[in-house]
Structures are given as C-alpha cells and as structure tokens.
A = this chain, B = another copy of it.
Amino acid sequence: MLSHSQIKYIQSLQQKKFRRQYGVFVAEGEKIVSELWASNFGVEGIYALSGWLEAHRHEIRPGVDIYELSEKDLGRISGLKTPNKVMAVVKTPEPGNEPEHMAGSLSLVLDKVQDPGNLGTIIRTADWFGIRQIICSPDTAEVFSPKVVQATMGSFLRVKVSYTELEPFFEKTKAGTPVYGAFLEGENLFEVNPSGQGLMVIGNESKGISYKVATFVGKKLRIPGGRQSNSLNSAESLNASVAAGILMAWMTKK
C-alpha cells in the first residue's frame, strides 16, 4: 500500500520540473527493468506487483527501496494506458563534461527533434546499429521524459545522450571529421561510400536541419524517392525517425 504522498511523488515525475527537482525519472515494464541492472544507472525504488517481485526479488540490488503494489495502486502511479507489472524510479546521471565526438565512430547530432516518440525511436535505432553517442541541441525533446524512455525500449541504458549548443560543438570538432545530413538536393545515399564514422545530423520534424547547423554539414545526402517538384504524386517528406533509421542503416553498413 502506498501513502498519498508517495503516489503524488511518482505522479509528479511525469513532469520535467519535478524530475529536475528530485534528480530521478521513471521507467516502466519488465523488459526495461530487467536491463537496468546490467547498466550504470542507479535505481532509487522498485514498484511492482507481488507476482513480479516473487520472481525477480533476487535481482534487485541492495539499497533499492522495494514496494509491493496492488494492480490498482500500480495503475495510479503508472503513466501507461495499460500498466505493466513493474516500475522503477531511476537516478538521473550527472551530465558530465561537454560532449566530444569520439574519432573513428559514428555519432548522431539531433537538431531540435521535438517529438518524444521520435527521439525514443532514434535512440533505439542507434542502439541497434551500434551508435553509442547522440548529441542534442538544447531544444530537442528530453531523454528522461516518460514517453522517450518507453519508446527507447531500454536503449537509453546503452546510448549516451548529451545536450549542448550545436554551433560551439561543431566548431571544436576536429577538422576533417565528416559531417552528414539529409537534404533534398544531396547526393543519393546509396551512392555514398559508408565510412562508418563522423557525425550524422538529423533535423526537426517539420523544418529539417536549421540554417546555422546546415553550414557545418559537408556531405549532403538524399534518400531516394519523394515528391518530384510541385506535383502531388508522392509523400512530401519522411517521418524523422524513419529517415534517421535509413541513414543509420546505410552509414553503419560494413
């Protein structure tokens, strides 16, 4: 049984303001929680049904608060339409130093990706393709919002997501680092030799890559297809996470 103030506490974590204030966020579901223990993330509390606890209590690290809940109480604190069996309150990692591109690897740069579902899906896709670092503009969606966390399907545990002003980031990036981005007038993606390293910029859902960031993109790519001139014979654009997925698939191909 949870107290009224405990319920209020967990519910408040749906809002950014309180996630900041308490330094924690929520992650729901058996899959994500089972992958938490293999990560560097600290866990403050586990809120679970008795059935889940019976099977998994031995996996929970010492020092983690454990709450056994009824389905009704879990429904109260869950942000999901269909609550799962378990929910974790996870400690937000310290932001650490300013992000730097790791030479020899491919990293993503997100320029105002605003939809939480898109950000979560991009993190999940990056994880699939072995991309370990994502650098986000400050106006990109927040990685620890519940919708993003859930859409990553646990991949937020393995991909480092940092927020920084993009212009200074590009300015201090080592000369010669290839910077890729999708533009309608770019070169056909499948005719570009995938280097597997550098920076790949993903733009905003409706506006694409901003003018200022575009000046740093040395290699403009185009995903084949799309609308020819002004005719209405095709889609005008791709969904941001689908476009990012196609770019990542090709650029990480050995």
Contact residues of A with B, CB < 8 Å?
31, 35, 38, 117, 121, 124-125, 127-130, 151, 153-155, 158, 189-190, 223-226, 232-239, 241-243, 245-246, 249-250, 252-254
Contact = CB atoms under 8 A, between A and B. Distances in A.
A225 B190 contact: no
A201 B176 CA distance: 41
B190 A125 contact: no
Contacts of A35: 232
A193 to B, nearest CB: 13
Contacts of A246: 245-246, 249
B252 A225 contact: yes
- The oligomer's copy count stands at 2
B235 A124 contact: yes
Given A35-B232, A121-B239, A242-B245, 10 more contacts: A124-B235, A125-B239, A127-B234, A127-B235, A128-B235, A154-B235, A190-B253, A224-B249, A225-B252, A238-B245
Contacts of A223: 128, 249
A38 B232 contact: yes
Contacts of A154: 235-236
Given A232-B38, A239-B241, A245-B238, A225 B130 contact: yes
A20 B52 CA distance: 41
B254 A224 contact: yes
Nearest to A126: B235
B158 A125 contact: no
Given A223-B249, A239-B125, A234 B158 contact: yes
A125 B224 contact: no
Nearest to A159: B235
Contact of A128 (B129, B226, B254): B226
A121 B225 contact: no
Nearest to A252: B225
Contacts of A252: 224-225
A238 B130 contact: no
B245 A129 contact: no
A153 B225 contact: no
A45 B254 CA distance: 53
A11 to B, nearest CB: 20
